Amino acid sequence: MDRMEVTETFDGIVLPGHLHTAESLRFARSFQFRDTDVLIATYPKSGTTWMQEILTLVYSQGNLQPAQTIPNWARAPWLEHTYFKEMLREADGPRLITTHLPCQALAPALRKSKAKVIYMARNPKDVMVSFYHFHKLAKFLPDPGSFDDFLMRFLDGKVQYGSWFDHVKGWLSRQKELELFYITYEDLHQDLGRSVARLAAWLGCPLQEEALRVILQHCSFSSMRENVMVNYTLIPREIMDHSQGRFMRKGTVGDWRDHFTPLQNMLFHRLYRENMQDSSLRFHWTMD
């Protein structure tokens, strides 16, 4: 497969060369957003696919056809990926776009428009666990090594896609400059109906009761796990080895508790506090 062993470096962040090239990253940085664009921004494993599915169905008013016939990466393509230009839907009205890039790379382009940004975050302990398991099936990512090694590299910001801390602080510190809606994976878990209704209202796309009912049913973990348009089983084995795990793995809050030793937890806490002490951001998850 193409560039499976290659990595691209972008603003000091290492990214998989299978999905990114210097040219695709340059293109992303200078992209001309339209006022009607909606950008989903996340650090990997924060519930990106969940948000892509929700927004697809908010804009279709609960019509399942796009979610059941078009893969998520074509419905809401990643701005920085090599295939982005081919995939971008050139239609009037909102274009759904996804990114894992840090805010400083996109803020200048975003500020030139009124494009809406939905920033979705997740408890970094669960992100780290999910990312570790994802490395085992994603052949375009390096071997994660032991859980302990991966945890250290994650805390050090030395994994692919860079530091979780910088990503979250970068995007959320620009909440006032951008048209930005902040939501967490934990919010969706706690009350999916309320979260979807809030999102839809913010997007100016309110939902009828029946549409909301369909969205809640379709966006449940069990339903998305079986939907080949979002569970990544369409991706060939050489790129994602499905014998090594499922993309829709557990879909829970607090899975870190089944993974961390007390020592790892203590270290995580310490580095979390150190890295977040310069930030007044309040998060919707518990670290204990």
Nearer to ligand A3P, 41 or 155 (CB): 41
Instruction: Give the Cα separation of 224 and 179 in Å (integer).
Output: 29
Which one from 18, 20, 81, 100 is the annotated catalytic residue? Answer: 100
Q: What DSSP designation does 257 have?
A: G
Query: What's phi and psi for 31, nearest 5 deg?
Result: -60, 140
The sign of the CA dihedral 232, 237, 239, 245 is positive
**Minimal distance, residue 20 CB to ligand A3P, in Å:** 16
Nearer to ligand A3P, 34 or 283 (CB): 283
Nearer to ligand A3P, 212 or 248 (CB): 248
**Minimal distance, residue 187 CB to ligand A3P, in Å:** 12
C-alpha to C-alpha distances, 24 to 9, 10, 101, 208, 244, nearest whole angstrom: 12, 11, 12, 39, 29
Nearer to ligand A3P, 60 or 113 (CB): 60
Active site residue 81: no
Residues that bind ligand A3P in the complex, under the rule CB under 6 A: 42, 44-50, 126, 130, 133, 219-221, 224, 248-251, 255
**Minimal distance, residue 125 CB to ligand A3P, in Å:** 11
**Minimal distance, residue 246 CB to ligand A3P, in Å:** 8
Instruction: Give the Cα separation of 160 and 141 in Å (integer).
Output: 8
Q: Which of 193, 169, 201, 198 is nearest to 183 (CA)?
A: 198
Catalytic residue positions? 100
